[in-house]
Chain A
Amino acid sequence: MAVSRLFIANRGEIALRIVHAAQALDIETVVGISEADQGSAAATLADRALLLGPGPAVHSYLDPRLVVHAAKAAGCDALHPGYGFLSERAILPRLCADHGIAFVGPEPDMIDALGDKLRARAMAKAAGVPLVPGSEEIASAADARREADRIGYPVLLKASAGGGGRGMVIANNAEEAEAGFHKASAEALAAFNDGTLFMERFVPEARHVEVQLMGDGTGKVVHFGERDCSVQRRYQKLVEEAPCTAMPDQVRRQLHEAAVALASSVRYSNAGTAEFLYDVKREEVYFIEVNARIQVEHPVSEMVTGFDLVAEQIRIAGGAALSVSQDDIALTGHAIECRINAEDVGKGFIPVPGRITGWQPPQGEGIRLDSHMAQGAVIPPFYDSMIGKLIVHGKDRAEAVSRLTDALDAFVVEGVPTTLGLHRAIVRHPDFIENRIHTRWLEQVLLADGVPATE
């Protein structure tokens, strides 16, 4: 049954994005807000805003019972969780099901299964999706040498009971593999009282690539191309683009096929993203995990496909089949997104809540801004620091980079420090322009000598 009144269990730009998508589908919107978000853009635009509770998220956005109680009291027949907060907590779709509310996302059992890395890897393996080459338990130095020879150097010896980098040794050749066995084993024994080791191929220069998927629960799954999210700081993505131009077409096809096979094999429903590591030198992709939600960076896929992913999510939650087949989805041009955060880059990227006193976003051809901010808007201290996503589209990567550079230069935000200056430095760096980046590039190259002065 098609959705008629949608509850939005989120805040910020994604709440606003969901309200827009629902309104385009002629669906009523109710947004649940905390006391800190009264008067927010989503609350103002929605048909109704309900005050859930105090600002701290545990008392509002992170309380599944409170959220579902509000959705039910408001007569909503569907609930969109956005990203973050409760979006990948299976209790939310379970409570929704108990109260006759359609959840805009996958089944709760699927969320549980994908949240468990070992189960997710088992699913991927069963679907024939490539995993990082690795070993079973390594029992001796000779064993280490033999397995490392088989896997290919460099390899990473890891403690089975491990974490936090302890009991981890990189080996670049057979001698290092043998010596590394003794070192890692001793470290693991000291740290975890368990010297058991295993081995994985180590990828020194990896790209993070991910495939946008959409399924309708029948086994039919389509993809909307891949995204390259290799500009990261401490595993947080800062810049995302589509397509990944650093990848040969043949690898790209393998990537898409693997992602679709995985989602199809488990009859995946709604939006999801299969994340992979791309080994640039070997031209191989390895599965990491599946994110069972709409992602922050979904707009770059929308920009290159011209397709509204959030609207499709809502339609599928209402019981509809996929509205497109793979042949209908054409990828055109290149899109790049920058996450603009209210952070003081020079002080360790510390978030800075406060009031926006000046807000002049760039405008023009190929520019999209997903933001809940405006002049006078307040960034509350309780939530993440993202104030918007600047997305550009061009006929190719060079045009997109050029447009992004101009758009970043034109973007004026006053009242709080932002990451705009850092983005200006990123897009001007020769490595970014020539697309030679990898997941540790930002920290190892651009930020190696401190923060670039461009603000």
Chain B
Amino acid sequence: MSGPDTLRDIETLIAEFQASGLRELHVRSGGVEIYLSNDARAAGLDAAPVVRQAAAVAAPSATPAASAAAPAAAAPAAVAGLPDNVVIVRAPYLGTFYRSPKPGSPVYVDVGTVVTPESDMCLVEVMKLFTAVRAGISGTVHAILATDGQMVEADQPLFAVIPG
């Protein structure tokens, strides 16, 4: 199936998805497969769509919000005043930075918390859509570089983690 009807169906699906508050949606019908996500980096929609979409869907996710892929794994520290060996966890896109899952609940991580690549570090919110940012590396949180409730830009340093 292809042509204008399918396109219209997809547009409708996207509109419904946006209105629904769902985080991810995977549809397979006939020869068409669609993966929708509110997480900008989860699906890698810009290249090799079918394979990478399928991989993204298959990836286990036990977290409450869709998690961003490791934003920082191989990035150099490049933040003044930090030890050379730290890895910086960065914001996947612009949004509001939240250290806890909801107001009043404990923070995801603090200085000294030991994290694994799958550990949720914080939430980044865009218009009421919350996305968890994962550590992407094993180690110990060395510093928290953004302020709870503040706007962060894409790529802005959020945490410094000492690998280990």
Interface residues in chain A, defined as those with a beta carbon under 8 Å from any beta carbon in chain B: 32, 34-35, 50-54, 56, 58-60, 63, 65-66, 68-70, 73-74, 95, 163, 382
Is the beta-carbon distance between A68 and B127 smaller than 8 angstroms? yes
Alpha-carbon gap, A70 to B154, bound state (A): 11
Is the beta-carbon distance between B40 and A54 smaller than 8 angstroms? yes
Is the beta-carbon distance between B151 and A73 smaller than 8 angstroms? yes
Inter-chain contacts of A35 with B (CB < 8 A): 154-155
Alpha-carbon gap, A65 to B126, bound state (A): 6
Q: List 12 A-B contacts (CB under 8 A).
A: A35-B154, A51-B153, A51-B155, A51-B156, A52-B94, A54-B40, A56-B45, A59-B40, A60-B93, A65-B126, A66-B93, A66-B127
Q: How far is the CB of A378 from chain B (nearest CB, A)?
A: 17
B104 proximal to A (CB < 8 A) = no
Is the beta-carbon distance between B93 and A52 smaller than 8 angstroms? yes
**Selected contact of A53 from candidates B3, B45, B94, B151, CB within 8 Å:** B94
Inter-chain contacts of B93 with A (CB < 8 A): 52-54, 59-60, 66
The interface bits of chain B over 136-164 (1 if a CB of A lies within 8 angstroms of the residue's CB, else 0) are: 00000000000000010111100000000
Alpha-carbon gap, A34 to B153, bound state (A): 10
Inter-chain contacts of B94 with A (CB < 8 A): 32, 50-53, 66, 69-70, 73
In the A-B complex, the 9 residue pairs with the closest CB atoms: A53-B93, A65-B127, A51-B153, A73-B151, A56-B46, A51-B154, A59-B40, A53-B154, A52-B94
Is the beta-carbon distance between B4 and A69 smaller than 8 angstroms? no
Is the beta-carbon distance between A95 and B127 smaller than 8 angstroms? yes
Alpha-carbon gap, A59 to B42, bound state (A): 11
Is the beta-carbon distance between A69 and B154 smaller than 8 angstroms? no
Alpha-carbon gap, A436 to B126, bound state (A): 53
Inter-chain contacts of A53 with B (CB < 8 A): 40, 92-94, 154
Alpha-carbon gap, A68 to B94, bound state (A): 11
Alpha-carbon gap, A53 to B41, bound state (A): 10
Alpha-carbon gap, A56 to B49, bound state (A): 13
Q: How far is the CB of A324 from chain B (nearest CB, A)?
A: 37
State the interface size on chain B (CB cutoff 8 A). Answer: 19
* CB contact under 8 A between A65 and B129, given known A52-B93, A53-B94: yes
Q: How far is the CB of A442 from chain B (nearest CB, A)?
A: 28
The interface bits of chain B over 2-16 (1 if a CB of A lies within 8 angstroms of the residue's CB, else 0) are: 011000000000000
Q: How far is the CB of A30 from chain B (nearest CB, A)?
A: 12
* CB contact under 8 A between A66 and B156, given known A51-B94, A56-B45: no
Most B CB contacts (10 A, CB to CB) among A35, A60, A73 go to A73
Inter-chain contacts of B156 with A (CB < 8 A): 51
Known contacts A60-B93, A69-B127; 20 additional CB pairs below 8 A are A35-B154, A35-B155, A51-B153, A51-B156, A52-B93, A53-B93, A54-B93, A54-B154, A56-B46, A59-B40, A59-B41, A59-B46, A63-B40, A63-B126, A65-B129, A66-B126, A69-B94, A69-B95, A69-B126, A95-B127
Alpha-carbon gap, A34 to B46, bound state (A): 14
B67 proximal to A (CB < 8 A) = no
Inter-chain contacts of B45 with A (CB < 8 A): 56, 58
Most A CB contacts (10 A, CB to CB) among B41, B92, B151, B156 go to B151
B96 proximal to A (CB < 8 A) = yes
Alpha-carbon gap, A63 to B127, bound state (A): 11
Q: How far is the CB of A172 from chain B (nearest CB, A)?
A: 30
Q: Return the chain A residue nearest B125 by Cβ.
A: A69
Alpha-carbon gap, A151 to B46, bound state (A): 48
Q: How far is the CB of B74 from chain A (nearest CB, A)?
A: 16
Inter-chain contacts of A66 with B (CB < 8 A): 93-95, 126-127
Q: How far is the CB of A59 from chain B (nearest CB, A)?
A: 4
Q: Return the chain B residue nearest A74 by Cβ.
A: B151
Inter-chain contacts of B3 with A (CB < 8 A): 163
Q: How far is the CB of B72 from chain A (nearest CB, A)?
A: 14
Alpha-carbon gap, A70 to B3, bound state (A): 36
Inter-chain contacts of A382 with B (CB < 8 A): 46
Alpha-carbon gap, A52 to B154, bound state (A): 5
Is the beta-carbon distance between A73 and B96 smaller than 8 angstroms? yes
Alpha-carbon gap, A390 to B154, bound state (A): 34
Q: How far is the CB of B86 from chain A (nearest CB, A)?
A: 21
Alpha-carbon gap, A398 to B81, bound state (A): 64
Q: Return the chain B residue nearest A56 by Cβ.
A: B46
Q: How far is the CB of B24 from chain A (nearest CB, A)?
A: 15
Q: How far is the CB of B7 from chain A (nearest CB, A)?
A: 11
Alpha-carbon gap, A329 to B129, bound state (A): 47
Inter-chain contacts of B127 with A (CB < 8 A): 65-66, 68-69, 95
Inter-chain contacts of B153 with A (CB < 8 A): 50-52
